[in-house]
Structure 1
Amino acid sequence: MGTTLMLVAVVEAFIGISGNTFIALVNFMGWIKSKKIASMDSILTSLAMSRICLQCIILLDCFIMVQYPDTYNIGKEMRIIDFFWTLTNHLSVWFATCLSIFYFFKIANFFHPLFLWIKWRIDKLILRTLLLCCVLSLCFSLPVTENLNDDFRRCVKTKERINSTLRCKVNKAGHASVKVNLNLVMLFPFSVSLLSFLLLLLSLWRHTRQMQLNATGSKDPSTTAHIRAMKAVISFLVLFVAYCLAFLIATSSYFMPESELAVMWGELIALIYPSSHSFILILGNSKLRQASLRVLCKVKAMLKGRNCQQHGQI
């Protein structure tokens, strides 16, 4: 069962890493060519790179759990993996939240002075915001480096008693507290993205109403931009909810009877989020969509040429 789930995880990770690598490469090549990178491209590149690292960490965690269960249970190396998983997880979520915020300030139409001030300076603030996300993610990841997890794995997963049952209960409570706090912290970026979506919806409603009052067509560029941004944000929110549930299952697996299977299923569900959302972003971004079409055309031409050569040989 573990080997089968491992193969599924490899397929999911390969698809996700391919999509995120494509996003990073397209934006990096555009940066090299034009000697500058747009704010949107910098967010997408940061998001893609964080998700590549996240998927590699999840895949490594699955591999160690299936192939080296002793190391997974009590190995000191798992503290390093726990740290990088938490770090890349928070980076991915915060960068996606930055994308939602960027969509809101670039597309929405409000006349509040604070909104207009940020809207005019959003391009200059993006780099600082991304750096702030890195600092916050690092701070939130430091608690998992404590050796609390080592004792807890011994007590719960390997069913070994260390000194007394009381110590195991203390470790169990402390471990649960750390994991619950890590999950609760992720509610803040989710709330920010949800607020961005609701404000985009309000902006679209006001814009559509204004267009109707002016007796003009409803499918203008602003309406199209609103709808496209809302699709990207809502897809992130839906996938993020599924990812949070999977992350909760994986991090709380020590309290379940079949903890290894719980972790594997949690990680399989977690891999859906960074994999599928990358392709949604590709389809929703005109530059990435055109680049993907060019790649598909080249692949189709190569396959067609290879088939022609094979028929010629026959």
Structure 2
Amino acid sequence: MMLHQLTIFFVIIYVFESFTIMAQSSFTVAVLGREWVQVKRLAPVEMILTSLSICRFFLQWTSMLYNFCMYFNHHYVLRQLGNIWEFTNVLSLWLTSLLAVFYCVKISSITHPIFFWLRWRILRFVPWLLLGVLVISCVAIIPSVIRNHIQIQLVPLEHLPINNTLIARLKIFEHYFSKANKIIMMTVPFLLFMVCTTFLTVSLIQHWEQMQQHNTGQSSSSLRAHSRTLKSLATYFICFTVYFLTIVLSFVHIKPLREPWSWVYEVLIYGVVSIHSTSLMLSSPTLKKAIKMKCGGQESA
């Protein structure tokens, strides 16, 4: 009885987190979409945030449909939803890494010629980079789509003795090649994020230490701004690392299957996503201004 109550409790938290993420994503797309309509352009960071918000909106809907469809055992539907879930997760990781790349290039004080070249051209590269990560995510998911299609075709043949060897070989293929492919396609954007975040953090710390040595009344606001940026980077790093580890465990099927622990796992994953989405919204001047206006309007009402 206690386990049943815990399951309901964590399911409610999961649903609340899911609707929170979808509300955050919808708000981001609505505000930045209105900005695009008004000024006919978006800043590169806003392009990435809009793309990431659209991705996370569909990711959360897919997650909810997948988790609740499991109770009805519709294997074909579950496999199709699994493909969409994998695609949106990979795309989400690449978009988050792309955001880290942009901040690293624009903010870091690295003086290498490559960084000067990138800093000069990054603004015009962002739309092409967005298209590139979309293509990479589509290519990365192809092995999973093929595997799921083969498994669907083999379901009626599982009980035939003549196919036992073929089915066994396919399971070995799935166990080794498929899991390795999933880990690689998740690890590459994570490593890119780690490298860019490390470069940016080191650069900001060096600049922060230099400003402290020449601390004046005029530079105190800059010191506070650097301190806030470093705290934001720490939040991004922790959230992204936890999300990466939990999603990798899900991809290789190393996660709790019994209730309520499976729902605790889901609550952990999407709680981190919600915190990260909140941090990104507060880091955008356009979104922060819209949030203040909305909260101010509600208080006045």
Shorter-normalised TM range: 0.7 to 0.9
Matched residue, 1:297? 296
Q: Is the 8 A contact 2:256 2:262 kept in 1?
A: no
User: Cα gap change, 1:193/1:297 in structure 2, threshold over 3 Å: closer, same or farther?
Assistant: same
Q: Deviations over 1:226-261 (max 9, x none)?
A: 4444444432332222223322343344x7784676
Unpaired runs of at least 5, structure 2: none
Q: CA deviation at 1:198?
A: 1.5
1:46 and 2:51 equivalent? yes
Instruction: Determine if contact 1:83/1:144 at 8 Å carries over to the other structure.
Output: yes
What secondary structure is seen at the aligned counterpart in 1 of 2:41?
Answer: coil
2:270 corresponds to = 271
Following the alignment from structure 1 to structure 2, what is the Cα–Cα distance between the partners of residues 161 and 234?
Answer: 53
Q: After superposition, where does 1:78-89 map in structure 2 within 5 Å?
A: 78-89=78-89
CA distance in 2, matches of 1:105, 1:237: 17
- Given the superposition, is the C-alpha separation of residues 209 and 30 from structure 1 closer, same or farther in structure 2, using an over 3 Å criterion? same
**In 1, distance between residues paired with 2:225 and 2:36?**
24
Distance 1:298 1:257 in 2: 44
Tell me if 1:248 matches 2:253. no
Structure-2 residue corresponding to 1:32: 37
> Per-residue deviation at 1:209?
4.2
Equivalent AA in structure 2 for residue 130 of structure 1: L
Q: Does 2:280 correspond to 1:281? A: yes
- SS in structure 1 opposite 2:220? coil
Among residues 9, 13, 19, which one is paired with 1:8 in the alignment? 13
Structure 1 position 32, deviation (Å):
0.9
1:12 maps to a residue whose letter is: E
Measure how far apart 1:76 and its partner are.
1.9
d(CA) in 2 for partners of 1:239, 1:233 = 10
Which structure's relative contact order is higher, taking Cα pairs within 8 Å and 6+ residues apart?
2
What CA distance in whole angstroms lies between the structure 2 residues aligned with 1:241 and 1:15?
A: 21
Partner of 1:197: 197
Give the C-alpha shift of residue 301 in structure 1: 3.0
Deviation of the 1:95 alpha carbon: 0.7
Inter-CA distance 284–175: structure 2 relative to 1 (3 Å threshold) = same
Residue 42 of structure 2 aligns to a residue whose secondary structure is: coil
Distance 2:129 2:256 in 1: 42
Aligned equivalent of 2:61: 56
CA RMSD of aligned residues (A): 2.9
Aligned residue for 1:139?
139
Aligned mates of 1:283, 1:94 — CA distance in 2: 21
SS in 2 for 1:109: coil
Cα contact 1:76–1:150 (8 A) shared by 2? no
Q: In the aligned structure 2, how far is the partner of 1:172 from the partner of 1:101?
A: 38
Contact 1:107 1:225 in 2 (8 A): no
- How far apart are 1:137 and its partner, in Å? 0.4
**Partner Cα separation in structure 2 for residue 168 and residue 265 of structure 1:** 33
Q: Which moved more, 1:290-299 or 1:117-126?
A: 290-299
1:225-236 matched pairs, under 5 angstroms: 226-236=226-236
Q: Does 1:96 align with 2:84?
A: no
Separation in structure 1 between the aligned mates of residue 11 and residue 170 of structure 2, nearest angstrom: 30
Partners of 2:89 and 2:215 in 1: CA distance: 47
Q: Do the aligned partners of residues 281 and 256 (structure 1) sit closer, same or farther apart at CA in structure 2, a change above 3 Å counting? A: closer
TM-score by length of 2: 0.84
Q: Report the alpha carbon displacement of residue 142 of structure 1 after superposing the two structures with TM.
A: 1.3
Q: Are 1:90 and 1:186, in contact at CA under 8 Å, matched by a contact in 2?
A: yes
